[in-house]
Chains A and B, each alone.
Chain A
Amino acid sequence: MLILVLKRILLGLITLFIVSLITFVGVEVLPGDACTTYLEREAYGAALEACYKRLGLDIPAYERYVSWAIGVIQGDFGYSLSGEMKINDVLGPRVKNSLVLASASILIGIPIALLLGIITALWRDKMPDIIISTFTIFSMTIPEFISATLLILIVAIWLEWLPGIVIVPTGASVSELLPNIILPVIAISMIMTAHMARMVRSSVIQVMASDYVQMAILKGVPYWKMVFKHVLPNALLPAINVVALTIAWLLGGVVVTEVVFNYPGLGRLVIESISNRDLPVVQALAIILASIYVIINLIADLLTLMLNPRLKSLQIKK
């Protein structure tokens, strides 16, 4: 078990290394750089030279990568090019904001998704399923920029119940953020819940059709007992990985929603820093997002391993 965890961590580190290389090379080969973007039309001659020198862009690319990598290992992402701020300071509040948005969506969305999925599966082809499934398919097919815009139109502009866009500063406290995130959370939850509910539904239906559930029924196990003891533990196992991916996706910044609501999260920072050619920030973001995916997937795999007796005994045998 321990060896497996160590193996997975090592693999994760290799993944992170490759991700950092790819983003570095990617941003490097893009036409233009931080100085040309910053200086715009004046980007020539001495001004450009001076800018390069100031930002350290005159050093060869591989040397920059090495010194940056050493910094990251020590927990220092270096300086942002455009704002000339410490990247740790730029990222800190953004990570917090994304966390707030993600946790709110997770806390609301995942229980609802599981509930809807289970209800639609148990009442398959009956009224509850038809109504909920129509709704989930509907909200799955509408792109989030449309549903988000519609939400703003209806709730913020027509009804004037909630602020339409987030107008708090990036460093705002959680209590200041809360009223602002209601609409983004609804927009995100709609699409996320729909996807997960569909997944849970098909998983539960599959287990309900299995021989062992038929056997439980024929054994005389009461319906709800059968659902909780025989169906759900087996049906929700595969859901763990989907939940993990969803969480990672949420933490990694829901770009479109953040842009529509002007929310100061990681997703918007990605867009901003790419358009500013702010290589160190892009790299830092890539590393952070990749780490989130790696860590959450690792947790999900270990959880599956622990909950599935079949896999557990396989591991022990090895």
Chain B
Amino acid sequence: MQQVVQEIKNLSIGFTSKKGEQISILKNISTTINKGETVGIVGESGSGKSTLALAMMGYVKHGLFTISGECIYQSNDILKMKNRELENIRGRKIAMIPQNAGQSLTPNLKIGYQIDEALRLHTNFQKEDRDVKISELLNKVRLPSPETIAKRYPHELSGGQQQRVAVAMALAGSPDLLLLDEPTTGLDVTTQAHVLELLNFIAKDTGTSMVYVSHDLGAIAQVSDRVIVMYSGEIVLDGPVKTILKNPIHPYTYGLLKSIPKLTLSGLPNSMSGSQPQPGTIKEGCSFYDRCEFAEDKCKINSPELEFVSELNSSVRCFNHKKLHKKKDEDTKSSKKVLRKLTKNEILDISSVSISYAKQKFIEQLLNKIDDTNPTVKDINIKIDKGETLALVGESGSGKSTILKSIAGLIKAKDGIIKFDKNKILSNDLKKRDANYLRAIQLIFQNPDESLNPNHTVEEIVSQPLKLYFGLSGNELKQKIIEVLKKVRLGEFYLTRYPRQLSGGEKQRVAVARAFAAKPDIILCDEVTSALDVSVQAAVLNLLQELKVDFGTTYIFVSHDLAVVKAISDRVAVLYQGRLCEIGPSESVYKFPSHPYTEVLLGAVLEPDPDIKPKLVAEDIVEEKPPEKGCSFQGRCPRLLGQICKTDVPPWQIDENGNAIRCHIKINDLKNQQISN
């Protein structure tokens, strides 16, 4: 019998609605966390996973309350404890690593103080011993020069460093149980892979049990022994990580896994229709009924109970799970990859574009010039053909969004020319651009909550480009709006809705409709799916693909998610510190990431498969500014040649597949090195 660290019994947490109804966010959760075990809790936003993790520490957010059930830690119910008792458990027995370390460290207190505070509260060390311990902890989470870090304020560290500090702080009290709430969300791919690797090391090293909450099945796959899948406040599936990810016997998990773009698959993932119900809307029956492809009549009336399936060592909440037992995922591979007719019909030509964020000095303002020898984005040359999807990828600070904004005219380029439709030069000043060019290039933003005016109805939002560019009005306008909405699969009844009445996926559809209403030639997509849940992301990607087939639109697609990029793009441009590293057809870039940076990036991608481990080839240092001279990637390159990389900008090399890289090492040597690794 394994030692149990925490046992949750029939836990329900909820709130009282304005109408006085009691609405549950967590419904009858029962599970146990064993000693030394890492349990992944996965679910989309609103599934109640964070509420569950916080309840394990006896913390219930303002406005919520425990309806029933208990969280047993060392034979006491944490939820019934007084503050004094909780203070002795929190941080000492059970510690939390928060989602956004940058906001979870108190801004006015130095790092050293914040770790020292945890030590003072939970250990009996004297001052000198504590100072030694702080250095030890910072060393353990692999932060360079602990003494300096301890003297810094939180905002003086990078995101990855802040997350490490949070880990160090949690370890200060040597807890039995670590709760991690999306600890790597918001970090760059390479940083994320490093933090996960560190967490795995700590789990092994200290024997601490962990509860890892995340929406990201890729991260879950890397750290967990057991996975709990949550949907609409219920546990729908609970079992060993391999079983859950390789043989998901709950329809929701099955659909979720199919909707994740993976590096090992070509083409777009299958989407799942609909979205998670709002708390309190499901009165009877299975909460997944509306979206389930295996649903039967009884699912609508009866709620399935969690049922233990002994041959898979898993519990599942579904009447029909047997149908999924032997279902192989061959149909995941049948996803449609649209064959693109690659016409050599250039629509956009970006030549030698440089963009600087440097503040203009007074004289420069007068001369309308920017004098910056080391601009944020430098020397970008890309030609885009009509009907092509070009993806710009890179970590934060790589300049991918900046380039997008300068194409749209929102940021003035310092140097260089952007030509539209072969020979028409696009002015870098938005006000001087012809209305027709403004119409031709449309932008879809990352977060539809911010890009849609909350006081406009869907009708007003979509009507704007139609009125502005085509002068439509009256009945004609209305017909056109309905037609456009139909294209993004939104019915006529959406016309009078406000953005707040729509789900995340629907909002992004409206944003897509607004862009397409202008009949654009080029659509710039800025991280359009990163604010969306996985199942919704797949639907939006599929929609973009369909619209492209219908209208022959050209996309420039910015994303940090390499799997999404692989699914949708024809050609990929990899950027590091505002400089191009590699550009080429997607298939060959993903098959053979020639440039060392592309190799690092792709190696760090987390696949939702516990058997595929990320390869960590380079340190995840954060560079604030691009180097003045030489190759942009010199600071982190695992294949650094020598002095030449620091002095000379590498030349372009092209291989037989049309893959161009900027590196001093011969492209074939790079490939051979990778194969021999």
Contacts and interface: CB of A to CB of B under 8 A. Distances in A.
Interface of A: 209-223, 229-230, 233-234, 307-310, 313
Given A212-B104, A234-B106, A219 B121 contact: yes
A72 B121 CA distance: 61
Contacts of A211: 98-100, 103-104
Interface stretch (B82-90, B242-250, B400-408): B82-90
B62 interface: yes
B167 interface: no
Contacts, number: 80
Contacts of A210: 103
B117 interface: yes
B59 interface: yes
Contacts of B87: 220-222
B92 interface: yes
B91 A218 contact: yes
Contact of B117 (A219, A307, A313): A219
B92 A212 contact: no
Interface residues of B, number: 34
Contacts of A310: 107, 153, 155
Given A212-B107, A220-B90, A308-B108, A313 B62 contact: no
A142 B99 CA distance: 45
B67 interface: no
B122 interface: yes
B425 interface: no
A217 B104 CA distance: 11
A212 B83 contact: no
A54 B121 CA distance: 79
B100 A313 contact: no
Contacts of B173: 220
A211 B102 CA distance: 9
Interface in B263-317: none
6 contacts: A212-B105, A214-B98, A218-B91, A229-B109, A309-B107, A310-B107
B89 A218 contact: no
A196 B315 CA distance: 56
- Majority DSSP secondary structure for residues of A touching B: helix
Given A215-B98, A221-B121, A309 B108 contact: yes
Given A211-B98, A211-B100, A309-B155, A218 B57 contact: yes
Nearest to B98: A215
B628 interface: no
Contacts of A223: 83
A218 B122 CA distance: 13
A119 B390 CA distance: 57
A220 B122 contact: yes
Contacts of B107: 212, 234, 309-310
B438 interface: no
A217 B94 CA distance: 12
A124 to B, nearest CB: 8
B441 interface: no
A309 B156 CA distance: 10
Given A212-B105, A214-B104, 13 more contacts: A209-B62, A215-B104, A215-B105, A215-B106, A216-B106, A218-B59, A220-B86, A220-B92, A220-B121, A233-B108, A307-B108, A309-B153, A313-B156
A263 B153 CA distance: 50
B220 interface: no
B169 A230 contact: no
Contacts of A219: 90-91, 95-96, 117-118, 121, 169
Contact of A221 (B100, B105, B117): B117
